[in-house]
Structure 1
Amino acid sequence: MSLCSGADPHGASESADPHSHDGHSHTISADADRRYLWIALGLLSAFMVGEVITAFISGSLALLSDAAHMLSDVAAIGAALWAMHLAAQPARGKWTFGWKRAEILSAAGNGITLLVLAVILGVEAIRRLFDPPQVTGGLVLVVALIGMVVNIAAAASMARANRSSLNVEGAYQHVLTDLYGFIGTAVAAVVILLTGWMRADAVASLVVVALMLRAGWSLTRDSGRVLMEAAPSEVDLLDVTDHLLEPEHVVSVHDLHVWTVTSSLPALSAHVVVEDECFTDGHSARLLDELQACIAGHFDVEHSTFQIEPVSHVDHESTAHAH
């Protein structure tokens, strides 16, 4: 259903009839996604406990960094599940969009967590490059191989969820970088067993750190764009304006705003100036339908609000809004 309304400055309000878009849904497929995330959460939680114990026994920073990252994975998935619960709550009272923005906050938290952990582990890895401790290569290799299997299973489960949701994608990136980390740890363990070069453990940790920084920055950037209400990266505002100017009788467009409420839920509002005659011959209502169909069809924005204004009203626009 789309929300589209046009305001008549003469006192008459025009609202387009609600249209149903059966093929497009902005709601999170909660039941399926939660099941996939719960499976991943169970696998990672069980393995994390064993990895922490093994990391202290073996003295491996790579394993300890993987365990720390896995702890953030567990927290990320837990936050994602809670955010999905909140996002499914209906809109009520002052919360006109419900709690849908909760998933963006969860994604931002996941991104920041990755960045903080990367800095902490990076500092320790650099220290160990200069003063490498003894690492039990065989034990590290066994745990790393098991960790790869566990993370592949968890990633495969989460990959089946709706990853167009920034919330789910954030948790998925946590698990995916952990998988890369275990691959690096396994390689480091083999190097230690074959050559005795203990610094391989620290090098593997730095590889994990680099992956965490990349994933963390991506999540923080994308969630930040949503929280700052920037236009979606795939939307060209000039292109939107051109499309809104195409219908006959449309003179100009101003106060155009496009933002994202949550993943896959863009919204748009604009003031559309039309010829004065549209308000006397009843054409403004048809224009409103045409504008709504244009935006929904070309830009997949179903939540749009248009204020239809006659040319004679432009001089009354506040200088703070007219542009």
Structure 2
Amino acid sequence: MGQGHDHGVAPTAGNERKLAIAAALTGGFMLAEVFGGVISGSLALIADAGHMLTDFASLLLALGAVRLSRRPATWKRSYGYDRFSVLAAFVNGLSLFLIAAWIFYEAIKRFREPVEVLGGLMFWVAVAGLVVNIAAFWMLTRGEGSNLNVRAAALHVLGDLLGSVGAIVAAIVIMLTGWMPIDPILSVFVTLLILRAAYRVVTESAAILLESAPEGLEAEKIREVLLEGVEGVTGVRHVHAWSITEERPMLTLEIDAASGSDPSAVRRAVKTLLHERFDVDHVTAEVDVAAAPVSP
């Protein structure tokens, strides 16, 4: 029983535009922040500059994933290249853990061997960085709902934004009190905030890559809804739910129908109900109709 499906879901031009603008803003300011961090001697600025470098790379990766996912599906890749964006989100999330490890290491060194920090220069570079990061973060989060790939990229920019806030606070404390340990302390604090969100992106993208059932698409719940909501359905078996991307849940299942049921009508009713209750558009349903009882 053949069933037609549209496997291609074109990514929005809006996401591509967001990522391109954010990458331009981040890459353009990155060199200035590196220079300011080295001259001022601030770990907070250097950490933020290193983070911004990885942000630039992650934004380019996310942008490449969006463009690659536009390529049409083929016989060999019947779902197209959409999942590459999930892979990009996973890699971007993991890179945040590596950045965090480096910042922790540098912070420990700074606690053991304090370094003189030029609070004034640090302050103005951090303020400029904050403005750039706010613009990039606003660009990535405004308008239409972002997918996992864009969320991962936005998380990198949020890390820079919070890093800039931390650097501003550290600069003010240094200028007013001369207390240098505030620089590595705030660097570590900001990193801890980012790690929490990074963990969520990594776990969500890993769940998609491992083809785990999307939240809300539990087999028992689907079985219960179909038995109660579709006339003629007597059983639901072999339910498999997964997703290609966060926006593309997939579902296959076998339906047992009562004797005399129209398989095509049951299949249409099942797909309609699954769309209405679970917002799943791609459903492959095999309908088995019970044999009519034999008259004695």
- Which residue in the other structure is 2:206 paired with? 224
Q: What code does the residue aligned with 1:240 have? A: I
Per-residue deviation, 1:177 = 1.7
Per-residue CA deviations over 1:53-90 (Å, capped at 9, x if unaligned) read 11111111110110111111111110111000111111
- Which residue in the other structure is 2:269 paired with? 290
Q: Distance in 2 between matches of 1:62 and 1:159?
A: 25
**1:1-323 correspondence runs (5 A):** 13=1, 15=3, 26-30=9-13, 32-160=14-142, 162-246=144-228, 247-278=230-261, 283-311=262-290
Q: Distance in 2 between matches of 1:44 and 1:164?
A: 19
- Which residue in the other structure is 1:315 paired with? none
Q: Residues 286, 18 of structure 1: CA spacing in aligned structure 2 closer, same or farther, 3 A cutoff? A: farther
Q: Residues 72, 162 of structure 1: CA spacing in aligned structure 2 closer, same or farther, 3 A cutoff? A: farther
Per-residue CA deviations over 1:183-210 (Å, capped at 9, x if unaligned) read 0110011111111110000011102211
Per-residue deviation, 1:131 = 2.3
Per-residue deviation, 1:127 = 2.6
Say whether the 8 Å CA contact 2:23–2:59 is kept in structure 1. Answer: yes
Q: What code does the residue aligned with 1:241 have? A: R
Q: What code does the residue aligned with 1:212 have? A: I
Higher mean C-alpha deviation, range 156-165 or range 131-140: 156-165
Q: Which has the higher contact order (CA 8 A, sep 6+)?
A: 1
Q: What code does the residue aligned with 2:46 have? A: L
Identity %, equivalent residues: 37
Q: Distance in 1 between matches of 2:29 and 2:52?
A: 9
Q: What code does the residue aligned with 2:251 have? A: L
Q: CA RMSD in A?
A: 1.8
Say whether the 8 Å CA contact 1:110–1:171 is kept in structure 2. Answer: yes
Q: Residues 50, 105 of structure 1: CA spacing in aligned structure 2 closer, same or farther, 3 A cutoff? A: same
Higher mean C-alpha deviation, range 285-294 or range 152-161: 152-161
Q: What code does the residue aligned with 1:90 have? A: P
Per-residue deviation, 1:251 = 1.5
**Helix, strand or coil for the counterpart of 2:244?**
strand
Per-residue deviation, 1:258 = 1.0
Say whether the 8 Å CA contact 2:16–2:67 is kept in structure 1. Answer: no
Q: Distance in 2 between matches of 1:224 and 1:205?
A: 28
Per-residue deviation, 1:144 = 0.5
Q: Distance in 1 between matches of 2:216 and 2:259?
A: 34
Q: What code does the residue aligned with 1:130 have? A: R
Q: Residues 14, 26 of structure 1: CA spacing in aligned structure 2 closer, same or farther, 3 A cutoff? A: closer
Q: Distance in 2 between matches of 1:154 and 1:267?
A: 33
Per-residue CA deviations over 1:204-263 (Å, capped at 9, x if unaligned) read 110221123112211111100100111112434322111121222211111101111012
TM-score by length of 2: 0.92
**Helix, strand or coil for the counterpart of 1:262?**
coil
Say whether the 8 Å CA contact 1:44–1:74 is kept in structure 2. Answer: yes
Per-residue deviation, 1:126 = 2.4
Q: Distance in 2 between matches of 1:43 and 1:146?
A: 12
Structure 1 residue runs of 5 or longer lacking an equivalent are 1-12, 20-24, 313-323
Q: Distance in 2 between matches of 1:237 and 1:273?
A: 15
- Which residue in the other structure is 1:22 paired with? none
Per-residue CA deviations over 1:112-134 (Å, capped at 9, x if unaligned) read 00011111111221231232211
Q: Distance in 2 between matches of 1:138 and 1:75?
A: 29
Per-residue deviation, 1:34 = 1.9
Q: How many residues matched?
A: 289
**Helix, strand or coil for the counterpart of 2:242?**
strand
Q: What code does the residue aligned with 2:122 have? A: V
Q: What code does the residue aligned with 1:287 have? A: V
